[in-house]
Amino acid sequence: MRQDGAREDELPSIAVMDAASTAAAAIEIAGLAAEGTARDEARTAWLGLATACGTGAALAIAMRRGGRILGALALRLPIHRGPALPHRLEMSALLLARDVPRREAALALLERAEEEATGRAASLLTMELPAGDPDVAILRARGFRLTGRVPGGAGHGRDALLFWKDLAAGAQPPLPAPPPRDGVEVLAHDRLFRSYLALDRLELRHRLFAGGTSGVVGRDLVVRGPAAAILLWDPDRDQVALVEQFRVGALAAGMDPWILETVAGVVEPGEDAAEVARREALEEAGARVDEMVHVGRHLSSPGCSDETVETFVGRVDASRLGGIHGLADEGEDIRVVVMDAADAIAACADGRIANAITLIALQWLALNRAALAARWRRA
């Protein structure tokens, strides 16, 4: 059906509507909803959106051919914006006429929404959809990834699926597949966010102890990868050198954020953990490591992260250690603390040392210090 003299072959245009236009078009946009109840809800939502547009808290994006509205999309700015530009924008109320190609129209509206979000320096764009909604496939085609479920988010007792797209990352490389393991079937693997760390979402089934297979379960995974840690020990003086620095995780946990810990660093692809340990000892503590022994490899938080830590004990001359170290371009502010090994081991028991990697290394030293000292003295 044509309106206002519009030609059927005329290309549709997409533009951001002002608040007055949004209010005037609310009834027409609501008419795009499939059912009467949905239309009433859509009309109320778009009338409210007009008010939000007037305060700068939202945008309404419309697709038109001539005077006819073919589709519309709402883009809401975050409530807590502060003095900085918004970081995350939320999309909602994607409505399209039934006689337009849904996929093409939806992708065009999403592309315009991304342009608006990028223009406002947002790095994340999110949208909630009911499970089973056909637009889920369209969001995925546009590069959106599933982050999880929002209980009751779709209304009427239905959960919503929450999707987001990292606008700052550009084209996403293929995700590394988890190593195959008997008894585990990975059904979906999505990258939700990438910064210094990454956050993935896995949907999987696994074998049960009682026999059979579980239902589909969702698990969030903090992608951290391998790290290396080294406890610096002087067997001649029986002293250890630890490092003290600010840790945001301790702050968030309500603990003292200045943590005593072993030297540690990330093992990049292709690097050897032992060489990383030596390098980090020099960068963080100014320590040159002589002999080294391997303590073990362990998971730091297997319930939510793939981080593994390869731990070593390295022989040093503690009389040469102390002072402030770290790389300025990485924001490091690291103080070296030299203490008797017996005092450090006691600090594990009385709570002065609460870092798990350091606890493992010092407890290993407590069990093996006499044998290791004899070995290194013979060397």
Is 330 a residue of the active site? Answer: yes
In the predicted structure, residue 82 carries a pLDDT above the cut 70: no
What is the pLDDT at residue 370? Answer: 95
pLDDT above 90: percentage of residues in the chain: 50
Specify the pairing of strand 239-246 against strand 226-234: antiparallel
Q: Are 17 and 136 members of one domain?
A: yes
Answer yes or no: do 234 and 208 share one domain.
no
The answer to whether position 173 is within a domain reads no
8 is a domain residue = no
Task: Report the relative pairing of strands 124-130 and 226-234 from DSSP bridges.
Answer: unpaired
The C-alpha atoms of residue 95 and residue 47 are separated, in whole angstroms, by 15
Rounded CA separation 363/366 (Å): 5
Q: By the 8 A CB rule, do 192 and 201 touch?
A: yes
Residue 150 has what pLDDT?
67
Cα separation of 267 and 309, whole Å?
Answer: 9
Give pLDDT, residue 7.
52
pLDDT surpassing 80 at residue 45: yes
Answer whether 0.75 is exceeded by the pTM.
no
Alpha helices per DSSP H over 16-101? 19-30, 36-54
- 242 and 319 both lie in a single domain: yes
Q: pLDDT confidence of 327, banded at 50, 70, 90?
A: confident
- Say what the pLDDT of residue 6 is: 45
Please check the confidence at residue 55 and state whether its pLDDT lies above 90. no
- Domain finish residue from 196, 223, 250: 223
State the catalytic residue, choosing from 8, 35, 268, 330: 330
Cβ-based neighbours of 261, under 8 Å, separated by 6 or more? 242, 243, 244, 245, 353, 355, 357, 358
pLDDT-based confidence at residue 143 (cuts at 50, 70, 90): confident
Q: Is residue 5 part of a domain?
A: no
**pLDDT of 89:** 83
* Whether residue 342 is found in the same domain as residue 278: yes
Do 111 and 139 share a domain, yes or no?
yes
Structure confidence at residue 133 (pLDDT): 81
Q: Would you say residue 172 has pLDDT above 70?
A: no
Nearest to 281 by CA among 238, 320, 252: 320
Q: 333 with 351, same domain?
A: yes
Residue 321 domain boundaries: 226-378
Instruction: Quote the pLDDT of residue 272.
Output: 94
Query: Is residue 176 situated within a structural domain?
Result: no
pLDDT of the residue at 259: 95
Closest CA to 143 of 116, 174, 119: 174
d(CA 172, CA 222): 17
Look at residue 202 and tell me if it is in a domain.
Answer: yes
| Averaged pLDDT for residues 289-294 | 95
In a domain, 332, yes or no: yes
Cα gap 84→74, rounded to integer Å = 22
Per-residue pLDDT reduced to its tens digit, 226-275:
999 999 999 999 999 999 999 999 999 999 999 999 999 999 888 999 99
CATH number at residue 130: 3.40.630.30
| Rounded Cα distance, 30 and 46, in Å | 8
Task: Give SS3 for 221.
Answer: strand
Residue 17 covered by a domain: yes
β-bridge partners, 294: 312
353-375 confidence digits (pLDDT tens): 999 999 999 999 999 999 999 99
Choose among 233, 256, 241, 224: nearest CA to 355.
256
Give a yes or no: residue 257 inside a domain: yes
336 shares its domain with 209: no
244 and 373 within one domain: yes
The reply to whether 217 and 243 lie within a common domain is no
Number of domains the chain contains? 3
Partners of 202 in beta bridges: 189, 219
**pLDDT tier, 78 (very low <50, low <70, confident <90, very high otherwise):** low
Residues 287 and 360 in one domain: yes
CATH of the domain at 257: 3.90.79.10
Give the residue with greater pLDDT, 159 vs 279: 279
The confidence score (pLDDT) of residue 83 equals 42
pLDDT band with cut points at 50, 70 and 90 for residue 200 = confident
Tokens of 327: 């790389």
Segment 286-311 shows an average pLDDT of 95
Region of residue 75 (phi > 0: left; psi between -120 and 50: alpha; otherwise: beta) = beta
Rounded CA gap, 339 and 242, in Å?
A: 8
Do residues 161 and 200 both lie within one domain? no
Same domain, 33 and 153: yes
**In the predicted model, what is the mean pLDDT of residues 295-299?**
97
- Mean pLDDT over all residues of the chain? 86
